[in-house]
Structure 1
Amino acid sequence: MRRSQHLFPAPWRLLALLILAAALAGALTPSRARADEAEATRVYIVQLREPPAIDATDRSRRVGEERFDARSPAVSSYGAALVASHDQLLAEIGAPDAKLYSYKLAFNGFAARLTAAQAARLRAHPDVQRVSLDRVKSLRTNASAQFLGLLDPGNGLRNARGLTGEGVVIGIIDSGIDPGHPAFGDREQKPKPRLCRGSWAKESLLGAWLCQRFRKPRFRPLYAPLPDWHGRCQAGPGFPATACNNKLVGARFYANGFRGSFPMDPAESLSPLDADGHGTHIASVAAGGRVTATLGDTVLAPISGIAPRARIAVYKACWLEPGATRAHCAMSDLQRAIEDAVADGVDIINYSVGTGDGGPGDSDALALLAAANAGVLTVAAAGNGGPAPASIESPGSSPWVLATAAATRSGTRYDEVLRYTAPAGVTGDLTMKEAAFTPELRNTGAVNGSLVLADDGLGAADGCTALANAADLAGRIALVRRGSCEFLSKVANAEAAGAIAVVVFGDAQDDGQPITMKGERGVVDIPAVMIGQADGEALATRLLAGDSVQVTLQKGLIASRQVAGNILYKASARGPNPDVFDILKPDVAAPGVDILGAQTPGVANGLRGERFQYLSGTSMAVPQVAGVAALLRQAHPEWSPAALRSALMTTARQDLLLADGGSAGPFDFGAGHIVPDLAVDPGLVYEAGRDDYDAFGCGVGLTGIGDERCDALREAGLSLEAADLNLPSMASHAVVHSRSIRRRVTNVGPAAVYQATVEAPPGIAVAVAPASLALASGESAEYTLTFTSTGTARRSDYFSDEARLPDFRFGSLSWSDGRHRVRSPLAVAPAAIGVEDPVAGHEATGQTTVHVDFGYDGTYQALVSGLASPASTTGTVIDDPLDYYTFQSDDSALPDFIRRQRISVPPGTRYLRVALVATTGGDAEDLDLYLHCPDGACPGGVLASATDAATEVIDLLDPAPGEYLIDIHGFEVSGPEAGYETGVWMVNDAPGPGGFSVLAAPAAAVTGASGEVTLGWAGLDPGELYLGLVTHGDGEHALALTLVEIATP
C-alpha cells in the first residue's frame, strides 16, 4: 500500500503495541551491548511470498486421506525450486554464503547471518513477505500409565486393547537424548534356560558342559526395522552414527541459529547428545521402554513410557548457555527441526517449547500449521506462567496445536532424604536435594554430625560473609539459610569455618521446596544439600532453643510418600488465550508434576551420575499426551491430527482441583483431564483442515495467505471468525446480546442418533439447532450454537484492571447417543455494551454517528472529550547501520540515528497519541517510534510502534501525568538522512475546537436494543487531523470508548 507523505491527512490508527517482552527486554538490557562495527551480522529469518511445498503441492488432499509424501517427485521438484530462489535472493544482496538453513516444506524461506543493510534490501524485495530477527524460546519444564487407566484389565488401551504405539514415530524437538540410556534400547537379554540358572550348572560336570554356551549374555531384538522411515542418525561428539537403533530411529541436531546469537556451554556437544537432561526425560516419558528406575543408587520400581513401543526420533534444537541448567532454542533452529521431522515421516511432534510473546503468526507456529496440514499432530506445552490469567504461551496458543496443562497424578513419590537422629522423639527423614557442584555423597560416604546454625554476626544466618561461630562449626554440619548470595559462597564460608558439610534450607523461592544447587565445580571440598523451608525453619528453631540435632547425609537414603492426583500444577499456564480470545486454551490437562523419567548421567550443570530424575511442569505433561496420541494413532491410523485432538478433548473429565482446593475450570484445564480409554472410541470428532485454518488465518491477519485465497474461502461458505473455527471447544468473548457460531461433527463410530444437552454458562441462554443429529458411519453434519445474554453482564470502568480481560462464564455442550458422550466446554463473555470504534469524519463542519448495542437495562450517557489538534515537530534522522535501538537516558549521549522529544502530559488527559511519518523517501524509509513513560505509567515502561512502514502510531488511553520521552529511530534510511514529522494529540474533557458535542443519543439502555449517537462539530481548520473521544457510561461506570478521528480536507 502506498503511504501518503503528508502528516496524517487520513485517520491513522494503530493501538499502542506493548513491545514483545523478550525482544524489547533484550534491546533495552545494558548487558547486550551495541556492536562496534556497522557490518556486524545477526541471524534473520526470511519468509517468502510463495507457499511452502506442503501447501503448494498438497492442496487436493482431504482430511483423513493418505499422509503427505515429502519425497514425491512433485514435492522434490517444487522444493528444489524454492531453495534455488533462496540462493538467488542471497546472491542478489551480496550474501551468497550467509545461509544457515533453507525451509521449503512447512515454511518457505531461510535463515541467514546478514548485516542490517542486507536485511533491509530483502525487506524491500517484492518476493519477500517478512524479515525478522531470530528469537529464542525456552524449554518448559512413573505411575502415569496406571493413573491414566492404560493398564486397566477391562478396557485399558495397553492391557485390554494391546495398544503400545507400535509403528508410530514420535518426534522429540528438545535438548537431545542420551542414546545409551536403557529406556531407548532396541534389544533385550535372552534368559538362560531354567536348568542353567541354578547350582546344577556350576556343580555338575554335565551341567557345566551343557550350559557353557549360555555363559555369555545373548540378546534378541525387540523391534524390527521401521518401513517407510526417512530419518537419519547424525553423528557428532559423544554420539556415533551407531547410536541410533530400531527404537531410537533418528537423531539430528541444529545449532546454527543458536551459535549465531548466543555462547554455548563448553560441556555441550555438537551432536544430538543431551547435555541438559530435559530431552532425555521427555523421550522416556513419551515412549521409553520398560526399565527399572533408580534414585541415588537405590532401586525404585519398573517404569515405561506411555507408548512403550513407539519409535523415537530426536531433533536437538535447544542448547545450554554457559552455566545454564535449562536449554534455550533459537527459532531458526526450531523451524528447521520441524521441517525435517515432517520430511522424515514422524506421526506426532512433542514440542515442550514455548515463549510468552508471539502467537499464531510466529514462524514456528506457522511451520507447525503446515505440519498439521501434512498430517502430523503437534502436542505443545501450555506454559509455566500460571496462575496468572492469560498466560498461555506460543505456539500453544495456536488452534492447530494441542496445548497441554499439567496436573498431579496419584501414586508414590520417592525422595532422597536427610536423616536426623536426635533429639529423641523427633527423629525422621527430610526431603533433600544434593548440590551439583560439591563432592558427591556417593564418593564421600556418609557424613554424620551435629547440626550448627551458621552465625555471620549479622543475624541473617545466610552464610554470605565469614562466619563468626567457627569454633562451634569445626567438625560439624552447618545449617544455612538460602538467599542473598550464591550457593558457592555459602558453602565456601562454611568450609572455611571448619564445617564438614552444609545443609541449606529454602526460602519463599520455589514455593519453599528444595532445589539442586548449582555452582562452579572443584572449588569446595565438602558436600552440601538443600532441604525445604519449613523443615529448615523447624530445625533452626530447635537449635536456637538449645537442642542438639544430629543428622546423617548419605547417598541411598530414600523415603516414599503418597501424592494426591487431579490437582492442577500451580504454575500451569491459564486462559484466556492472550492471542485470540475466541480460541479456548489450554486444550487438555495431563499428569505433569513429579514425573519420573530418564536423565543424562553426564548432565552439564546438574547433579551427575543419575540415570533417572523427577521433573515437573507443562513440559512433562506434553509427552504424556503425545504418548497417548501415539496409542490412538496406532488404533486409528486414518485419523487426522484434528481428529486425534478432538477425541482427547471431547472424552476428557473435569474433576480437577486447584492448589487451594477450589474447583478448576476450562481456563485451567481446557476440555479437562485426558481419559485415554474413552478417547479411542469418541463417537463424534470435530475435523479441521487446511481450509478451516486458512479461514481462521484470514480473520486474524496471518501473513502469507493472500486476499485472493481469503475471498475464495469466504465465497465457499467458510467463516473467517475465530469463534467459528471447527474446534471441539467454543469461546465467544463479546456477546452484547446474541451471537451464533457454527460447528461440524463427523461420526467415526457406527450409525447413531445424537441428542444435544447444554449446561448454559450463568447469564447466558444457549440454543442448539438442530438439537438432534442422525448420522451414518463417516457422515458429517453442521449445527449452530446461539449464545444470548440475559442482561447480567459485568459493568466496570473501561480503564480498570477488572475490565482488562473479558468476563468469561463457563458451561458445556454434550452430544450423546446413549453410548458416547461428546463434550465441549463453552466459554462465553457477555458484554454490557458494544460500540463502534473508531468512527471518522471528513468535513470542517459536519456530523457522524456511533452505533451502540446494549447488553444491560438502565441509564445510558454519552459524553464527549476534545477535540484535540496535533502539536507538530519536524526533524531529520540518519540511518542506524545496525538497526538496533537501545535506550539512552542521557540526551547528550544520543547517537545521530535517534532523535528525542520530551512532552509533558497534564492531569486530566484522557487520550494520548504520538505519531510519526517520514516526509522524505516514501516507502523506502523505515523509522520507528518509542514512547518512554513515567514510572508505572505503562507496562514495561515503554511503548513502541516498530513496523516496516514509514508511518508509526502509538495510542495510550488514560495516560498518567508526567514527562514522556519520544524517541525516533532511523531503523532504515534510504539516503543520507530522512525527514520526519511527529504529531502529539492530548485529548481531555475541556472544550476543544469545533464545538464538539452530542446531538442525539438513546434515552436509556435496554438489553438487546441498539441505538445511534449523533456527534457534531463546526468550523475546524483545513488540512488537520482532530481527535476526540466519546465515553459511553451508565451513570456510574465508563463502560466503553469510541475514538473519533476527523480529517479535514
Structure 2
Amino acid sequence: ELKAIKNTHGLVAAYPDRNVTLDTTHTSEFVSLDSSSGLWHASNFGENVIVGVIDTENSKQMERDLACEKVQDFNTSMCNLKLIGARYFNKGVIAANSKVKISMNSARDTSRHGTHTSSTVAGNYVSGASLAMLKVIFYEDVLAGMDQAIADGVDVISISMVFDGVPLYEDPKAIASFAEMKKGVVVSSSAGNEGPDLGTLHNGIPRLLTAAASTIDRTFGTLILGNGQTIIGWTLFPANALVENLPLIYNRIIPACNSVKLLSKVATKGIIVCDSEPDPNLMFKQMRLVNKTSLLGAVFTYNSPLLNEIGSVSSPTIVISAKDTPPVIKYAKSHNKKLTATIKFQQTFVGIKPTPAVNFNSSRGPSPSYHVVLKPGIMAPGSNVLAAYVPTEPTATIDTNVMFSSGYKLLSGTSMACPHASGVAALLKAAHPQWSAAAIRSALVTTASPLDNTQNPIRDYGYPSQYASPLAIGAGQMDPNTALDPGLIYDATPQDYVNLLCALNTHKKQILTITRSTSYNCAKQSFDLNYPSFIAFYSNKTRPIVHKFRRTVTNVGSGTATYRAKVTQPKGSVVIVSPERLAFRYKNEKLSYDVVIKYSKYNKENISFEDLVWIEDGGEHSVRSSILVAPSGIV
C-alpha cells in the first residue's frame, strides 16, 4: 500500500501505525471555582465554548448539531445541548489489522476512560460549554479526530492519551496541535503516569498545556475507639456495614496479618489491628489476606503520606496514618476489659492538610523530546476524581464475588488532571475569546500556586521528604480565578515554534510534516521560546555555565502599569534580570526583558529551583515564572 501511494501528490511522509497509551464533584470547590465571583461567573460558565474530547468514547446521553452519527447503539437523540457532537474514527485500526474485532462501531464507550474524562471537562457545573466527543485509538485515527475537531469549530481540545517513544514528526498530537494552535484552539494533554522518575513525561510538546496530577483535600471513613477518640482514615468499602462496638484485637500472634491460617482463627472475634509495614506492597498483601479470611473488620497502618492513593477496598477495613497509630495500639494494649472500636463507612471529610501534593505516579519532566521547555506546565486535581462512568461496568466489589455498578466512579491519574485543566482553559476562552492558545496557557502557568493549603511548598509524594520541583508540578497547582486576570501574558507565534524545531536540528521534511505548510523558515532558529518559565542545564559542575534568555510580555491589565522584578536565586546560581522595571503605557503593549542564569556550583543537590516574579506597583498582579537549574544527565 505504501508503494502505491508513495508518489501521490500531497504526500509529505508516511509512518507505521501505533497504539496509544491512556493516562487515567469536589474538585471544583478545591480549586475555588465555586466562589460567588471569579472565572465561573466571568465566563458565564463557559458559554458558547465547544470542548472537543479526543478519547475512547462517551457512554452518556448527554441543538447545535456538529455531527451525531447514527451508528451501533447510538442515535442522534442521544445528543443535546451539552453533547452536541459525537463521531468515531476507526479506519486506522482497521487498516493496521483488517481482521480486528471492534466491540462498538460508534461513539459509545466500552472502555470507560472517555466517559470519565468528558464528564469532568464540561459537566453540568460548566453549564454554558458544549462537548464534541471524538472516539479514537490508533495513530491515524487520532490525527483524523483532531483535524476533524478543527473543522467542527471546537475552541479547546482535551486529550488524555499519548504515543510512547514516538519522535515529534510522527506524533499525531504534535502534527495536529500545530494546526490547532494557528486557529487559536487550546490543546490540553496529560503528563503521563510513569512517575516518579525524572524524564518520564510524555506530552512535552511546547504548544500543549501539559497537566500533572495532584491530590485533593478529601478522605473517607473514621475509626472510633471505645474511649471516644476518633481517627479520620481512608476506606472506600462500598456498603454501610455494621462494624460497631466490636472487640479491638492486637496481640503478638497475628499483628503481621500475613497468615490466612492465623487470621482465620480470629475472623469472627472482632476488629484486628495489623502492624505497619515499611513497604506499601506488603500492606496491600495484608489487605488481600484479610479479604480472603472475611474478617469482621481490620485496621491497617500506612507509613506514608499516600493515604488517599490506596484506592478501593473490598472488605470492611480502614487504613490510618502511621502518626495516628500509637494511640490505637496504646488503647488496644490497655487493661480495660471492654476494648472496642467502630469503623464508620460512607463518610466524607474535606479540608484535609496538607494538600495538594503531586501524585506518586504523575510523570516528571524534563520532556525527552523538548527538554529546553519546562514541562509539565501546571498541576491539576488527579487523585480519586469522581466523574461519570459506564453504568454497566462494576465500580466496586465486596469480597471477590459481589459487584456493584454505578454511573460514577473515583479514578486517579493524569488523565483525570487533564480535563480539569481543559475545563478551566475553556472557561478562560469564554471570558477572553480574543486570547491566543499561548496566552491562555501563559495565564494558567504564571498564576499557578507552588504552595499547599498549609502555605508551605507543595510536597512530592514520589519523594515524601522533598518539596516538589517544577519537573513534577510545573508552575504549581492551577488557580482558575487568578488566571482570569493575570496582568501579563507570554504569547508565541507559529514561527516561534518553528524556530525551536529548527534549533533542535529537525529536518526540513520533518518540519513540513508537522506544519503542513511551506510558509515557515529556519532563518531565526532559537531554543529560546517565549515561554513563561526558564530551564538551564549544566554539563560540567566544576566550570561556570551561563544561559541567556529573552522574553516578551504583553500587558493585558486595565491600562497603565509598572512592574518590578523580584528574583529568588536558585542555590548555586546567580540570576540577573534586565531591565528590572517594566513600565507599560497602555493595554496590550509589549515589552521585553533579558534573563541571565550563571551557574557556578552547588554541592548539596543536583537540581535547584526558585522563581522570578514581576510584581505590579500597588500589588494588584504578580506574574510568576519558575526557574530550574539541573544537570544535563537527567534528560
**TM-score above 0.5, yes or no:** yes
The reply on whether 1:730 has 2:534 as its aligned counterpart is yes
Query: Which residue of 1 is the match for residue 610 of structure 2?
Result: 810
Question: 1:773, 1:509 → 2: CA distance?
Answer: 48
| Alpha-carbon contact 2:376-2:472 (below 8 Å) kept | yes
Query: Which residue of 2 is the match for residue 285 of structure 1?
Result: 120
**One-letter amino acid of the counterpart of residue 377, structure 2:** D
SS of structure 1 residue aligned to 2:174: helix
Post-superposition offset of 1:734:
4.0
More strand by share: 1
Question: 1:172, 1:674 → 2: CA distance?
Answer: 20
SS of structure 1 residue aligned to 2:387: strand
Post-superposition offset of 1:348:
0.8
Query: Which residue of 1 is the match for residue 132 of structure 2?
Result: 313
Query: Which residue of 2 is the match for residue 675 of structure 1?
Result: 479
Q: What are the residue-to-residue correspondences of 1:67-146 with 2, within 5 Å? A: 89-90=1-2, 92=4, 129-139=13-23, 141-146=24-29
SS of structure 1 residue aligned to 2:175: helix
Query: Which residue of 2 is the match for residue 376 of structure 1?
Result: 185
Query: Which residue of 2 is the match for residue 346 of structure 1?
Result: 154
Query: Which residue of 2 is the match for residue 764 of structure 1?
Result: 574
Summarize the Cα distance change of 1:123–1:697 in structure 2 as closer, same or farther, 3 Å threshold: farther
Summarize the Cα distance change of 1:732–1:165 in structure 2 as closer, same or farther, 3 Å threshold: same
Question: 1:360, 1:713 → 2: CA distance?
Answer: 18
Query: Which residue of 2 is the match for residue 148 of structure 1?
Result: 31
Question: 1:765, 1:429 → 2: CA distance?
Answer: 45
The Cα offsets for residues 433-481 of structure 1, whole Å up to 9 and x where unpaired, read as 23xxxxx748xx75779679899x99964456xx367565469888899
Question: 2:3, 2:557 → 1: CA distance?
Answer: 55
Query: Which residue of 1 is the match for residue 198 of structure 2?
Result: 389
| Alpha-carbon contact 2:213-2:382 (below 8 Å) kept | yes
| Alpha-carbon contact 1:454-1:462 (below 8 Å) kept | no
Question: 1:429, 1:746 → 2: CA distance?
Answer: 48
TM-score by length of 2: 0.76
Post-superposition offset of 1:377:
0.6
Question: 2:580, 2:485 → 1: CA distance?
Answer: 24
The reply on whether 1:179 has 2:60 as its aligned counterpart is yes
Query: Which residue of 2 is the match for residue 688 of structure 1?
Result: 492
Question: 1:265, 1:475 → 2: CA distance?
Answer: 51
| Alpha-carbon contact 1:253-1:315 (below 8 Å) kept | yes
Question: 1:681, 1:778 → 2: CA distance?
Answer: 13
Summarize the Cα distance change of 1:788–1:692 in structure 2 as closer, same or farther, 3 Å threshold: closer
The reply on whether 1:244 has 2:79 as its aligned counterpart is yes
Query: Which residue of 2 is the match for residue 558 of structure 1?
Result: 347
| Alpha-carbon contact 2:564-2:617 (below 8 Å) kept | no
Q: What are the residue-to-residue correspondences of 1:897-1046 with 2, within 5 Å? A: none
Question: 1:692, 1:739 → 2: CA distance?
Answer: 19
Post-superposition offset of 1:730:
2.6
The reply on whether 1:655 has 2:456 as its aligned counterpart is no
TM-score by length of 1: 0.49
| Alpha-carbon contact 1:584-1:730 (below 8 Å) kept | yes
Summarize the Cα distance change of 1:509–1:563 in structure 2 as closer, same or farther, 3 Å threshold: closer
Question: 2:332, 2:20 → 1: CA distance?
Answer: 47
Query: Which residue of 2 is the match for residue 895 of structure 1?
Result: none
421, 427, 431: which one aligns with 2:234: 431
Summarize the Cα distance change of 1:91–1:551 in structure 2 as closer, same or farther, 3 Å threshold: farther
The Cα offsets for residues 99-149 of structure 1, whole Å up to 9 and x where unpaired, read as xxxxxxxxxxxxxxxxxxxxxxx799995635235133122x334434434
Query: Which residue of 2 is the match for residue 849 of structure 1?
Result: none
| Alpha-carbon contact 1:764-1:830 (below 8 Å) kept | no
**One-letter amino acid of the counterpart of residue 40, structure 2:** R
* RMSD, aligned CA: 4.8
Question: 2:480, 2:98 → 1: CA distance?
Answer: 41
615-624 or 769-778, which deviates more:
769-778
Query: Which residue of 1 is the match for residue 366 of structure 2?
Result: 576
Question: 1:337, 1:828 → 2: CA distance?
Answer: 38
Post-superposition offset of 1:787:
1.2
Query: Which residue of 2 is the match for residue 531 of structure 1?
Result: 318
514, 526, 543: which one aligns with 1:721: 526
Question: 2:210, 2:291 → 1: CA distance?
Answer: 44
Post-superposition offset of 1:644:
0.9
The reply on whether 1:620 has 2:416 as its aligned counterpart is yes
Post-superposition offset of 1:710:
9.6
Structure of larger gyration radius: 1
| Alpha-carbon contact 1:272-1:315 (below 8 Å) kept | yes
Summarize the Cα distance change of 1:381–1:810 in structure 2 as closer, same or farther, 3 Å threshold: same
Question: 1:453, 1:236 → 2: CA distance?
Answer: 55
| Alpha-carbon contact 1:810-1:828 (below 8 Å) kept | no
Question: 2:576, 2:447 → 1: CA distance?
Answer: 21
Question: 1:678, 1:812 → 2: CA distance?
Answer: 18
| Alpha-carbon contact 2:248-2:341 (below 8 Å) kept | no
| Alpha-carbon contact 1:462-1:484 (below 8 Å) kept | no
Summarize the Cα distance change of 1:714–1:124 in structure 2 as closer, same or farther, 3 Å threshold: closer
| Alpha-carbon contact 2:488-2:555 (below 8 Å) kept | yes
Summarize the Cα distance change of 1:428–1:589 in structure 2 as closer, same or farther, 3 Å threshold: closer
**One-letter amino acid of the counterpart of residue 746, structure 1:** T
The Cα offsets for residues 597-624 of structure 1, whole Å up to 9 and x where unpaired, read as 3344322565533344444443333222
**One-letter amino acid of the counterpart of residue 785, structure 1:** D
Unmatched 5+ stretches in structure 1: 1-88, 94-121, 185-224, 290-303, 318-328, 435-439, 518-526, 797-801, 832-938, 940-1049
Question: 2:87, 2:498 → 1: CA distance?
Answer: 31
Query: Which residue of 1 is the match for residue 503 of structure 2?
Result: 699
The reply on whether 1:822 has 2:618 as its aligned counterpart is no
| Alpha-carbon contact 1:694-1:710 (below 8 Å) kept | no
Question: 2:488, 2:231 → 1: CA distance?
Answer: 54
Unmatched 5+ stretches in structure 2: 276-280, 398-403
Post-superposition offset of 1:402:
0.8
Post-superposition offset of 1:564:
2.8
Question: 2:235, 2:17 → 1: CA distance?
Answer: 43
Q: What are the residue-to-residue correspondences of 1:189-228 with 2, within 5 Å? A: 225-226=63-64
| Alpha-carbon contact 1:454-1:461 (below 8 Å) kept | no
Post-superposition offset of 1:729:
1.9
Post-superposition offset of 1:680:
2.5
Post-superposition offset of 1:400:
0.4
Query: Which residue of 2 is the match for residue 516 of structure 1?
Result: 312
Summarize the Cα distance change of 1:591–1:778 in structure 2 as closer, same or farther, 3 Å threshold: same
**One-letter amino acid of the counterpart of residue 768, structure 1:** S
Post-superposition offset of 1:156:
1.6
| Alpha-carbon contact 2:198-2:366 (below 8 Å) kept | yes
SS of structure 2 residue aligned to 1:705: helix
Post-superposition offset of 1:405:
2.7
**One-letter amino acid of the counterpart of residue 129, structure 2:** A
The reply on whether 1:157 has 2:39 as its aligned counterpart is yes
Post-superposition offset of 1:760:
5.4
SS of structure 1 residue aligned to 2:594: strand
Post-superposition offset of 1:553:
8.0
**One-letter amino acid of the counterpart of residue 67, structure 2:** G
Question: 1:541, 1:262 → 2: CA distance?
Answer: 65
| Alpha-carbon contact 2:250-2:332 (below 8 Å) kept | no
Summarize the Cα distance change of 1:504–1:612 in structure 2 as closer, same or farther, 3 Å threshold: farther
Question: 1:354, 1:795 → 2: CA distance?
Answer: 37
Post-superposition offset of 1:561:
4.7
The Cα offsets for residues 949-999 of structure 1, whole Å up to 9 and x where unpaired, read as xxxxxxxxxxxxxxxxxxxxxxxxxxxxxxxxxxxxxxxxxxxxxxxxxxx
Question: 1:170, 1:463 → 2: CA distance?
Answer: 52
SS of structure 2 residue aligned to 1:158: helix
| Alpha-carbon contact 1:232-1:251 (below 8 Å) kept | yes
| Alpha-carbon contact 1:123-1:130 (below 8 Å) kept | no
Question: 1:477, 1:272 → 2: CA distance?
Answer: 47
Summarize the Cα distance change of 1:561–1:463 in structure 2 as closer, same or farther, 3 Å threshold: farther
Question: 1:654, 1:170 → 2: CA distance?
Answer: 28
SS of structure 2 residue aligned to 1:620: helix
201, 220, 230: which one aligns with 1:415: 220
Summarize the Cα distance change of 1:575–1:165 in structure 2 as closer, same or farther, 3 Å threshold: same
Post-superposition offset of 1:278:
4.0
